[in-house]
Amino acid sequence: MTPPATVYLVGAGPGDAGLLTVRGAELLARAQVVAYDALCNPALLKLAPAEAEIIFAGKRSADHAIPQDQLNALLVEKANQGKTVVRLKGGDPFVFGRGGEEAQELAAAGVPFEIVPGISSAVAAPAYAGIPVTHRDHCSSYTVITGHERPEKGNESAIDWENLANNPGTKIVLMGVERLRAIADQLQKYGLAADTPVALVRWGTTGRHQTLTGQLDSIADAVEKANFKSPAVTIIGSVVNLRAELNWFEQRPLFGQRVVVTRTRQQASVLASRLSELGADVLEIPTIRIEEPTDKSPIGDAILGLGSYQWLVFTSPNGVDHFFKYFLRGFEDLRDLGGCRIAAIGPATAAKLKALHLKIDLMPEDYTADGVARAFTDSEDFTIENENICLLRAEVANPELPKALEDLGAIVDDIPVYKTVPETEDRTGAVARLETEGADWITFTSSSTAENFDARFGLKETLKQHAMQPISIGPETTKTLKALGVPPKVEASPHTIEGVVEALLSQ
């Protein structure tokens, strides 16, 4: 009989995907089954293998996607099938996360397990709101309590409200928005001053982060007036006053802006990470994915005939990646490229080539067909008349570039090294969020991202429904957007990912 695999109870942290521990990321990367809670950032699921089984085990108050006893049995079942299981839990597994109960069930079933602690929202959410839970001038302790207890306890509270009210430290309440009025009343009943500062932090550490402040005797009214809903962390104590001085997260330039990123899943993280660092709430909705070309014989012929080319022209990082994937299947040494000169369109493409320690002989300042042709025309070092050019790019691409090169007298082989196909998977739930919450901006980094978003959702209708503004990376993408009836609000300059970021910052 095959022994059971290990179940890993992994703390997903408070919401910011960057706060996942290194150990947690390592385990997700080799998980065969991932069971995740509602308060886990779904973006973390991208770390799991594409073939991993993903199970939503979300729990919100009394609304459980999978009842706890059934979930426990499921973890045991999957482990007994020999599958490595990551049980991804919001915050820390042992801080009001029922991780202890799940671990007990695994132990009773003889299933090996490991606990991977996570950063609790009890300290992270206040920190992102500029509130230290302890401070030498205010308090030297903090107490964390749950805002709701086991339903079967009824009116008999396990919390010593008198002791809590008279404790001079910071009080932190998790999951207590619905019972905030009763909590405030209890604390005042046992002597905590009515004017004690209070803050609530909703969706702390994420792009949806919101903070509401007040004082103990009126905070429940403020919450109702603002319709301030869970999930939120409540902080009670004088440390809340430090927020006026220490509020850093909400001061970032894109805070409060929701931005849709439509790049491929593999590429989206670069733009998404940069936008997140600047405070944006990023929805990653890839509209394309990269696959091998339909017919691989042209690239095979081109690689075998490399000696006949004077130029290799790469138009994108994808082209570099896929060309060298095929090239290195047949050759073991980059010197087998021969004496070809290399042209790169765009700094990201150039960076890929430089990473391979290849010299770039030409990089146009303008990333359009006319710009490439002009760069060849203006060069004093060479001419491409009667020279053989191997143009390495997507299977479906703008026909203007090979024509512009041929007009200069070049002999062009237009070789597809990859193709883009529509992406329809939504592992992170970003599509649902866009439909219910909308967004402020949507970024397009290629014509294919725009065309496929339109085919999947209806671009013009979606922009109108959510009052979103499109941003284009460059002239070719802008041309496509205009053809779809939605001219961009702004076009990036330079036509790069950083240019897209700068375009957003300028608005």
Q: Which residues are catalytically annotated?
A: 37, 59, 175
* Omega before residue 286 within 30° of 0, cis: no
C-alpha 218/C-alpha 386 separation (Å) is: 81
Per the CB < 8 A criterion, the answer to whether 174 and 125 are in contact is no
List the one residue out of 407, 402, 406 whose CA is nearest residue 392.
402
List the one residue out of 491, 449, 498 whose CA is nearest residue 473.
491
Which run of H or E residues covers position 451? helix 447-457
The half-sphere exposure of 218 on its side-chain side, counting CA atoms within 13 A, is 9
Q: Phi/psi class of residue 98: alpha, beta or left (left: φ > 0; alpha: ψ in -120 to 50)?
A: left
3-state SS of 65-120 is CCCHHHHHHHHHHHHHCCCCEEEEECECCCCCCCHHHHHHHHHHCCCCEEEECCCC
C-alpha 248/C-alpha 262 separation (Å) is: 29
